[in-house]
Amino acid sequence: MLNNQGPGTTPQIQRLIDEFNRLPGIGVKSAQRLAYYLIRMPVAQSEDLSDAILSVKKHIKYCSNCFNLTDQDPCNICQNSRRNEKLMCVVEQAMDVLAFEKAGFNGLYHVLHGAISPIDGIGPENLKIQNLIDRIKSNLFEEIILSTNPTTTGDATALYISRLIQDEPSINIRITIPARGLSVGGDLEYADQDTLRRALDGRRDL
Ligand code: ZN
């Protein structure tokens, strides 16, 4: 806890401000604004909010197949027989799946849960990379689209995975990457759906 309660507030209010301040992208000013907004909120609405938070903590888990977030295992994408089971899109974060779904992607996914970043102490063993290789080996995928973020770490991760696949004689699969209409250094989750759709349509062999 930051424990920086000043005059004009109370321990309860300060606790709420501190909790908001711990969230990504929320500075002290924003944390204060949110806390005071919440205090003015009707009780029923604040109960809905706290219930929504507790509900995702209780029910949301990783799909044991693709590692997307789900409330059922396997997730509804992996279970859907109308999806193209020959096409796999590899992404860094579960939020990226949302973006690709909005862009109309109809294949399956694999969520890595990050990118290789030695400076942050994140190696291949910290990501769902071995699960990916195992999954490719035991399924009939024809193409894998390496859709990691267009960043240094994202590119390094895509390269690492492609080498791993190429070094595996038992795997025969086309490896592609989305076209770089995306701004360099940008996160996929912020790409609008038209940009993402164009990037998918214009994908090329790695
Ligand atoms: Zn799944």
Distance between CA atoms of 161 and 110, rounded to whole angstroms? 12
The answer to whether 130 touches 168, Cβ cutoff 8 Å, is: no
Ligand 1 midpoint to CA 162 (Å):
22
Burial 161-181 (b: 16+ CB within 10 A, else e): bbebbeeeeeeebebbbbeeb
Ligand 1 midpoint to CA 137 (Å):
17
Ligand 1 midpoint to CA 110 (Å):
8
Ligand 1 midpoint to CA 161 (Å):
20
Ligand 1 midpoint to CA 175 (Å):
21
What pLDDT is stored for residue 196 in this prediction? 86
What pLDDT is stored for residue 184 in this prediction? 52
What pLDDT is stored for residue 192 in this prediction? 79
What pLDDT is stored for residue 1 in this prediction? 47
Ligand 1 midpoint to CA 5 (Å):
45
> Dihedrals φ, ψ of 174, to 5°?
-80, 130
Ligand 1 midpoint to CA 72 (Å):
9
What pLDDT is stored for residue 158 in this prediction? 96
pLDDT tens digits for the chain (206 residues)?
Answer: 455 666 788 999 999 999 999 999 999 999 999 999 999 999 999 999 999 999 999 999 999 999 999 999 999 999 999 999 999 999 999 999 999 999 999 999 999 999 999 999 999 999 999 999 999 999 889 999 999 998 999 999 999 999 999 998 888 999 999 987 655 556 665 677 888 888 888 898 88
Ligand 1 midpoint to CA 69 (Å):
8
Distance between CA atoms of 31 and 25, rounded to whole angstroms? 10
Ligand 1 midpoint to CA 70 (Å):
8
Q: For helices 11-21 and 28-40, what crossing angle results, to 10°?
A: 130
What pLDDT is stored for residue 5 in this prediction? 63
Ligand 1 midpoint to CA 55 (Å):
20
